[in-house]
Chain A
Amino acid sequence: MTNQEIWNMVLGEMELALSRANFTTWFKNTSIISRNEDCVVVSVPNGFVKEWLENKFNKQIITSIRKLLPEIRDVRYTMGTVASLPPEKKDITQFIPDRIMEEIRSNAEVNSITNLNKRYTFDSFVVGSNNELAHAACLAVVKNLGKVYNPLFLYGGVGLGKTHLLQATGNKVVEDNGIRKVAFISSERLTTEIIESVKNHNVEEMKSKYRKLDVLIIDDIQMIAGREKTQDIIFDTFNELYSKNKQIIFSSDRPPRAIPALEERLRSRFEGGMIADISAPDYETRLAILKLKAKEKGSNMDEAILGHIATTVQKNIRELEGALNRVIAVNQMYNKALDLKEVKKLLATYLNTPYKKTTPQLILKSVSDFYGIPLMDLTKRSRKKEIVHPRQVAMFLLREETKSSFPEIGQKLGGRDHSTVIHAYEKIKHAEETDETMRQEIVLIKERIYQSIDH
């Protein structure tokens, strides 16, 4: 019988006799390290455990051991002689400078005049079928500033690389054409600047700053929706730059025609150049991105693990990178490479974080608020036009947002037949595809729903 087996038996008995907390406190990291005819030596992690086992549990431990080895008379405890680690391979002089560089990097990489971050380059951008068009358009713009695609309008979902492309374009322009007047700005920040300038009465000064630019890049342009002064200034600046053949690039999370509360004259201008979309990357692209990122971070990760990450995280590159970072961080923390099983476990807890869900109640409330009718009317039998339309929209949204079954939706809206719901769903779906005002309505209602989830 091995020492390990003996000790496991002792542990088994002690575990039954003690509370969980007590057991883990006093018996964690203990083991038998040696034994002779009548004595067993137990290794313990620290002095407190040693004292406690010697004084409180010695009798029980001896009794347990003697059930297996009756000749044992004595148990001794010794503090874990942790084999002293081999001297640090990397000496401290090497270790210091690269930590320092990391610290300062965040500051130095963003150019304070152009707002461009040098970290974003075309080299670190992985091209796949999802973003081919956008990538090619950006490259074309770099080569022929202000001549081919002006303005260039990129759109795509969250975390798919819009900002990366914009920044890379800006950087490349600066690099290829020497010092040009390039500015990268998010529309949020632009709005802040405008508010500030209105307050300080120097709007003209601010405007002229943007008029002198060769390349103007505005990120997240959809945020100017509903901000009239900002739209005004962007309109003026746009005309000015456009007439001088200066390049303008926008990004947004939706196409121009889907941005609500955007002035018509701006919308038509946004659509006047080139519109390119970026969609979610396919598996191969995701894997390529992971490989590139892992290499950047100097980590050799098993292909199977990268493959697993690419399969589990599908919609968002930022999350993809987050999952990779997490695996790398855990690797470094424990100083070993996790195997596929451990990675699966790690990511399962990471990805299962509860997300906020839209509820049918929320949808009904948002719809009734939007159309200004009482919530009760949606479920009543009334067939007045001003009620029927909102009711159909509600059915459509319930189907789209909560994936409820048709009979279930009918039930929720006053016990209607499922065929009624199907009809409403198809009707609104068709209208959404063909009718611009309908599309607007849906977008605005959805916005209401999402906003109330967030709060």
Chain B
Amino acid sequence: MIITINQQKLRRAISALEKIVVRNLSLPILQNIALNTDNGRLKLSSTNLEIGINYWIGAKVEEEGSVAIPARVLSDFVNNVSDEKLTITTKENNILINSNNYKTQILGFSVKEFPIIPKSKTEALISLPAQQWRKLFGAITDSAALSDARPELTGVRLGVVAGFLEVAATDGFRLAERRLGGDFISNFNGNGLIIPRATVQELMRILDGQETELVAMTVSENQIFFSTQESELVSRLIDGCYPDYKKLIPEKVVSRLVVNRTELEKGVRLASIFSSGVADIKLCIEKNELRIAAQNAARGEVNARIGGELKGEGFTSAVNYHYLLDGLKIIEGESIALEFTGDGGPLVLKGEKHSQALYLIMPLRS
């Protein structure tokens, strides 16, 4: 293989690929990134056997070939090279990377041992511009469960509800839900998919900075594919039934307070300094005013007051401040509506005007 490529492009490709490369002692080949020439482009691949990524970048190909390079070495090297053009030449399993100022030889492996990354063979279900996907999935993985006790909760559910494309994630303590309207869902029948959180995070990483490029989603045989012109991400889906989270969203609202997002966030962050071991802060709402209080036996206490607009009676609720801050990342708009649904019931966060997203927190009992 003899190719010449742009360092910036290579760097971008590697940063998209390297996060899923994990230390794997039983199959050391997985710690590599595979390089293949492919129709006048260079194809880079990495996988951990749960997620696989192919990434294509333009290159001047003088001689076809393939090789696997240890991901860490390649990434550290490319990040520190300052020359713009790199020439990659392989001799057996040795990789020579040369540029104006550097001459490097990296020990690689034969690509024969490298797993084959499955390709999508069916038609795309949904095609959306990258920015739409980013908007849909943004910050949603925060709410998915970390513990493996219930595998289905570790993923993000994607489904179609009433003509909207809808994502949801919950760990049992809070629930995030966001929807997207449009006429793109003709092919997608309603059965929900559960996408592993790592897959969604990886997708966000690949799509970072991209705006209008189309990203197609394909599902076949328990696998999900996200493809763009220059990359393809494949992952397994999580088996299992996602709980019926709609039941959790209360229909009745007792009172509703509208506050400014920035002030609320500031108040919560301030109170968080004095929260106790379970990260609890107290929200007391009375007469168009929100008081955020927290006290810690070892540190002290704080009271922050924020003006707002209240409909209904005042209320008091104790919540985990991490959940509240995560929620603010889900909800759009400058005005945030806090809805109280009765004692012991969840607290619901919505945008005052935008109804595309919803976030629900179970209160702490005291």
Residues of chain A whose beta carbon lies under 8 Å from any beta carbon of chain B? 20-22, 24-25, 46-48, 50-52, 55, 78-82, 84-88, 91-93, 95-97, 99-101, 103-104, 106-108, 112, 332-333
Contact (Cβ within 8 A) A96 B172: yes
B173 lies within 8 A of chain A by Cβ: yes
Min CB–CB distance A61 → chain B (angstroms): 16
Residues of chain B whose beta carbon lies under 8 Å from any beta carbon of chain A? 26-27, 47, 49-50, 52, 115-118, 149, 170, 172-173, 221-223, 234, 236, 239-241, 243-245, 247-248, 276-278, 280, 297, 344, 362-366
Contact (Cβ within 8 A) A51 B115: yes
Contact (Cβ within 8 A) B223 A100: no
Among B50, B170, B364, chain A packs the most CB atoms within 10 A around the CB of B364
Contact (Cβ within 8 A) A25 B26: yes
Of A88, A92, A103, A104, which is within 8 A of B170 by CB?
A: A92
Of A22, A24, A47, A82, which is within 8 A of B223 by CB?
A: A47
Q: Contacts of A25 on B, CB cut-off 8 Å?
A: 26-27, 49
5 nearest CB pairs, A to B: A47-B118, A21-B26, A51-B116, A92-B243, A79-B221
- Complex CA distance for A112 and B295, rounded to whole angstroms: 14
Contact (Cβ within 8 A) A78 B221: yes
Of B52, B245, B297, B365, which is within 8 A of A100 by CB?
A: B365
- Complex CA distance for A46 and B243, rounded to whole angstroms: 24
Contact (Cβ within 8 A) B239 A107: no
Q: Contacts of B366 on A, CB cut-off 8 Å?
A: 104, 108
B47, closest chain A residue (CB):
A48
- Complex CA distance for A329 and B39, rounded to whole angstroms: 54
Give 20 CB contacts A-B under 8 Å. Answer: A21-B27, A25-B27, A46-B222, A46-B223, A47-B118, A48-B47, A48-B49, A48-B115, A55-B116, A84-B240, A84-B241, A92-B172, A97-B362, A99-B173, A100-B362, A103-B173, A103-B364, A104-B280, A106-B278, A107-B278
Compute the total of residue contacts between A and B using a CB distance below 8 Å. 100
Of A21, A51, A86, A107, which is within 8 A of B117 by CB?
A: A51
Q: Contacts of B52 on A, CB cut-off 8 Å?
A: 48
Min CB–CB distance A331 → chain B (angstroms): 13
At the interface, is chain B mostly helix, strand, loop or mixed?
A: loop
Additional pairs, 10, CB under 8 Å, beyond known A25-B27, A97-B344, A101-B365 = A25-B26, A48-B118, A51-B115, A55-B116, A91-B247, A92-B172, A92-B248, A96-B248, A100-B173, A103-B364
Of A20, A46, A96, which is within 8 A of B236 by CB?
A: A46
Contact (Cβ within 8 A) A46 B26: no
At the interface, is chain A mostly helix, strand, loop or mixed?
A: helix
Contact (Cβ within 8 A) B278 A103: yes
Contact (Cβ within 8 A) B244 A92: yes
A332, closest chain B residue (CB):
B149
Contact (Cβ within 8 A) B245 A79: no
- Complex CA distance for A24 and B248, rounded to whole angstroms: 42
Q: Contacts of A21 on B, CB cut-off 8 Å?
A: 26-27
Of B236, B240, B247, B365, which is within 8 A of A85 by CB?
A: B240
Contact (Cβ within 8 A) A112 B236: no
Q: Contacts of B248 on A, CB cut-off 8 Å?
A: 92-93, 96
Of B116, B223, B277, which is within 8 A of A107 by CB?
A: B277
Min CB–CB distance A79 → chain B (angstroms): 4
- Complex CA distance for A84 and B193, rounded to whole angstroms: 12
- Complex CA distance for A79 and B26, rounded to whole angstroms: 23
Of A20, A78, A92, A112, which is within 8 A of B245 by CB?
A: A92
Min CB–CB distance A314 → chain B (angstroms): 32
Contact (Cβ within 8 A) B278 A87: no
Contact (Cβ within 8 A) A52 B116: yes
Q: Contacts of B362 on A, CB cut-off 8 Å?
A: 96-97, 100
Of B27, B49, B344, B363, which is within 8 A of A22 by CB?
A: B27
Contact (Cβ within 8 A) B26 A50: no
Q: Contacts of A96 on B, CB cut-off 8 Å?
A: 172-173, 248, 362
Min CB–CB distance A22 → chain B (angstroms): 7
Q: Contacts of B118 on A, CB cut-off 8 Å?
A: 47-48, 50-51
- Complex CA distance for A150 and B154, rounded to whole angstroms: 57
Q: Contacts of B277 on A, CB cut-off 8 Å?
A: 106-107
Q: Contacts of B222 on A, CB cut-off 8 Å?
A: 46-47, 79-82
- Complex CA distance for A112 and B236, rounded to whole angstroms: 49
Contact (Cβ within 8 A) A104 B26: no
Min CB–CB distance A426 → chain B (angstroms): 55
Contact (Cβ within 8 A) B244 A91: yes
Among A20, A52, A80, A96, chain B packs the most CB atoms within 10 A around the CB of A96
Min CB–CB distance B72 → chain A (angstroms): 20
- Complex CA distance for A120 and B363, rounded to whole angstroms: 27
A82, closest chain B residue (CB):
B239
Q: Contacts of A97 on B, CB cut-off 8 Å?
A: 344, 362
Min CB–CB distance A265 → chain B (angstroms): 35
- Complex CA distance for A416 and B53, rounded to whole angstroms: 74
Q: Contacts of B364 on A, CB cut-off 8 Å?
A: 100, 103-104
Contact (Cβ within 8 A) A88 B26: no
- Complex CA distance for A100 and B318, rounded to whole angstroms: 12
Contact (Cβ within 8 A) A48 B239: no
Given the interface pairs A47-B234, A104-B364, the reply to whether A112 lies near B297 with Cβ below 8 Å is yes
Q: Contacts of A85 on B, CB cut-off 8 Å?
A: 239-241
Q: Contacts of A104 on B, CB cut-off 8 Å?
A: 278, 280, 364-366
B174, closest chain A residue (CB):
A96
Min CB–CB distance B57 → chain A (angstroms): 23
Q: Contacts of A86 on B, CB cut-off 8 Å?
A: 241
Min CB–CB distance A336 → chain B (angstroms): 15
Q: Contacts of A100 on B, CB cut-off 8 Å?
A: 173, 362-365
Q: Contacts of B297 on A, CB cut-off 8 Å?
A: 112
- Complex CA distance for A87 and B244, rounded to whole angstroms: 9
- Complex CA distance for A20 and B25, rounded to whole angstroms: 12
Of A48, A81, A87, which is within 8 A of B241 by CB?
A: A87
- Complex CA distance for A332 and B277, rounded to whole angstroms: 27
Q: Contacts of A112 on B, CB cut-off 8 Å?
A: 297
Among B117, B149, B172, chain A packs the most CB atoms within 10 A around the CB of B172
A47, closest chain B residue (CB):
B118
- Complex CA distance for A84 and B277, rounded to whole angstroms: 40
Contact (Cβ within 8 A) B26 A24: yes
A45, closest chain B residue (CB):
B236
- Complex CA distance for A221 and B243, rounded to whole angstroms: 52
- Complex CA distance for A258 and B341, rounded to whole angstroms: 61
A22, closest chain B residue (CB):
B27
Q: Contacts of A20 on B, CB cut-off 8 Å?
A: 26
Q: Contacts of B117 on A, CB cut-off 8 Å?
A: 48, 51
Q: Contacts of A47 on B, CB cut-off 8 Å?
A: 118, 221-223, 234, 236
Q: Contacts of B245 on A, CB cut-off 8 Å?
A: 92
Given the interface pairs A48-B52, A85-B239, A103-B278, the reply to whether A92 lies near B221 with Cβ below 8 Å is no
Q: Contacts of A107 on B, CB cut-off 8 Å?
A: 276-278
- Complex CA distance for A104 and B173, rounded to whole angstroms: 12
Q: Contacts of B170 on A, CB cut-off 8 Å?
A: 92
Min CB–CB distance B309 → chain A (angstroms): 29
Contact (Cβ within 8 A) B172 A46: no
Given the interface pairs A79-B223, A100-B364, the reply to whether A93 lies near B47 with Cβ below 8 Å is no
